[in-house]
A = this chain, B = another copy of it.
Amino acid sequence: MKVIKIGGNVIDNPQALDEFIDSFSKIEGPKVLVHGGGKVASKLATDMGIEVKMVEGRRITDDAMLDVVTMVYAGLVNKKVVAKLQAKGVNALGLTGADANVLLADKRNHPTIDFGNVGDVKQANGDTILKFSEMGIVPVFSAITHNGNGQLLNTNADTIASEVAKALAKLTETELIYVFELPGVMLDIKNMDSVVENINVDKYAQLKLDGIVADGMIPKLDNSFEALKKGVSVVRIASTYYINNENTKHTSLVL
């Protein structure tokens, strides 16, 4: 089982998205896709006169903003991706965490910041996800979950990918691949040959100290190591090219 996560930069670039869809459709065997939201939600919010508030790189999600991300992530982006995959012969099924109760989350309780309707995954329902897969269906997750009491919650897509992979790893051998616009973790972002091919926990600590791993890459790597510790057999950070050619340079995470 391969769990592939694509970032918002792929979603925002129509050519990159079509290339990714094509690559993803060629992956053999069971697979799951998790996608981020891209910049459309912020643009729509601005068009609607809703203020966009970010704190520590995370979106403050009041009720109006939850409606916006639900429309954009679970509606527009998810259904466009699903329709494009169907056109490539992939029997995609778009999901939020509420659908078939695949992902339960708790509203984030932060000591000083009120993130609003933001959720942290409490439970991924691996049995249902695997059953869909056994039907020949490819689950496609948007970054919306629910709390089981009727409340939808905006949830980080990297975390969803990691939680889905961990739940599946209990049932079948599972790989997790974060696909983005670069070949992997880079020592020098301007030098495409500077990919760090292997990162273990010690090296990760050093890369953080050196400021090479920073910002959004930190939760991505935290999620990666967490997934490895919980039984996911392989975690990689790679470009779209890696998907169909495993000789493409990329970053492998090791404990």
Contacts and interface: CB of A to CB of B under 8 A. Distances in A.
Interface of A: 44, 47-49, 67, 70-76, 78-80, 82-84, 86-87, 91-94, 96, 98-101, 128, 131, 135, 137, 144, 146, 148-152
A76 B74 CA distance: 8
Chain A contact surface mostly:
helix
Contacts of A98: 79, 82-83, 86, 92, 94
Contact of A83 (B131, B135, B150): B150
A57 B11 CA distance: 35
Contacts of A144: 79
A94 B148 CA distance: 15
Given A75-B79, A79-B144, A83-B151, 9 more contacts: A44-B71, A47-B49, A70-B76, A71-B76, A73-B75, A74-B79, A79-B98, A83-B150, A93-B99
